[in-house]
Chain A
Amino acid sequence: MTSQGKTWHRLKTEYLRRVEKALSSVKHPRSRDVLDDVSSHLDRRFAELEPAQQTRENLQAIIADMGPASDYAELLDPDSTTPTQKLQRRFPLWLGLAAIVIAAAILLSRAIPSKVKQHKHLTISKAYWFHSDERPRSIPAEAVPKDDDGHMLFHVDEWYEEMGTAKQYRPFLNQADERFVLKADGHPDVHVNAERGCWSKEFYIRIPRKEYVKMEAGVMYTIHPVNSNPKYRWKVRPGVIICKPNQ
């Protein structure tokens, strides 16, 4: 991840944390949806910046354009009071119950595993070219135009049936390193990126033009995730390879 990428990641995470905190005051069933939508919106704004435009000032301007975190709760549930008003009204009760709640929370958190499911690793069990017959029919060919870049899909094994694609994979994608290296003995390494997200369990991987030309047709490349974040890791099943077809 570049230094601009790291700065962006920090700014985005801080903002989402503030929004999440603001939304927690209204307990709306769609609070999580709002967070996901805001996260996607921020990703889109960042993706529109050319590398030269990714200055700290521009990144901060994107966050400023989103508006204050307190707006979210008010707009999601206009009937709710502000957190400050709630606190003032319930102060005596809050004070009396605080110690009990905190103690109970600590005990429960130790006794019961977290209910929020989150992928901490994803296992790649297949790698194939986007413009091939292996691509599921649900993914339209025109979704990725044919050009001089290489376009691949990684199929992953992990899937929570009760969660949608974005909800279960976005937290992982936001945290995990997007870089992979394709290796083959006697050939230069090829650097690729998981940069566009996924269609269900199929993750899009782009091989930039300058890397794609380094790949030799007919050579079997193994896949090596960079995995700079040890908490969110890609794994690769043994035997998974990708081979550039002869033109």
Chain B
Amino acid sequence: MNLQNWQTQLRKGLLDVVILNLLQHGRCHGYEMVQTLKQIDGLKIREGNIYPILARLQTDGLVTSYSEPSPDGPPRKYFKLTELGQKTLADMNAHWNHIIQSMQSLKKGKRV
């Protein structure tokens, strides 16, 4: 088994929930999100990856966007969670916590 491939697939699978978690603390623009993720061990992504995910989350109604003038460049596009996004994120985080607990139990040799 190629460990690196597995890690890449795992990271890709988690990107949606990672981005939604970033946005739960308030509005953010794509560039800012990339910079934040760069500093978190294990969550560094290819910079371009964030934009198709944000576009898909918008289509799903979980995220919305708007533009604001920027003092140091063209108008900046900000993303924020919708009400549906907040609810979905809560469900996703609950599921994620459940998986973590189950994995811990499994590692300790307990039946899940």
Contact = CB atoms under 8 A, between A and B. Distances in A.
Interface stretch (B43-51, B91-99, B103-111): B43-51
B74 A196 contact: yes
Interface residues of B, number: 28
Given A37-B30, A47-B73, A76-B56, A165 B67 contact: yes
A145 B30 contact: no
B75 A199 contact: yes
B70 interface: yes
Contacts of B58: 30, 33
A221 B54 CA distance: 45
Interface residues of A, number: 41
Nearest to A76: B52
Contacts of A96: none
Contacts of A144: 71
B55 interface: yes
Contacts of B75: 165-166, 197-199
Interface in B28-60: 30-31, 34, 45-49, 51-56, 58-59
Contact of B55 (A34, A43, A66, A67): A34
Interface in B56-90: 56, 58-59, 67, 69-77
Interface string A59-83: 0000001111001110111000000
B72 A67 contact: no
Contact of A71 (B34, B49, B54, B56): B49
Nearest to A77: B56
A143 B77 CA distance: 15
A200 B68 CA distance: 11
Main secondary structure on chain B at its contact with chain A?
Answer: helix
Contacts of A38: 48, 51
Contact of B47 (A23, A66, A77, A199): A66
B15 to A, nearest CB: 7
A63 to B, nearest CB: 9
A167 B54 CA distance: 17
B59 to A, nearest CB: 6
A44 B73 contact: yes
A156 to B, nearest CB: 15
B27 interface: no
B77 A76 contact: no
Contacts of B15: 75
A41 interface: yes
Interface of A: 19, 23, 28-31, 33-34, 37-38, 40-41, 43-45, 47, 65-68, 71-73, 75-77, 139-140, 142-145, 164-166, 170, 173, 196-199
Given A66-B46, A71-B48, 11 more contacts: A30-B56, A33-B51, A40-B30, A41-B51, A71-B52, A140-B69, A166-B74, A170-B74, A196-B73, A199-B69, A199-B75
The 10 A-B pairs of least Cβ separation, nearest first, read: A67-B46, A197-B74, A76-B52, A66-B48, A30-B55, A75-B52, A37-B51, A143-B71, A67-B48, A34-B51
Interface of B: 12, 15, 30-31, 34, 45-49, 51-56, 58-59, 67, 69-77
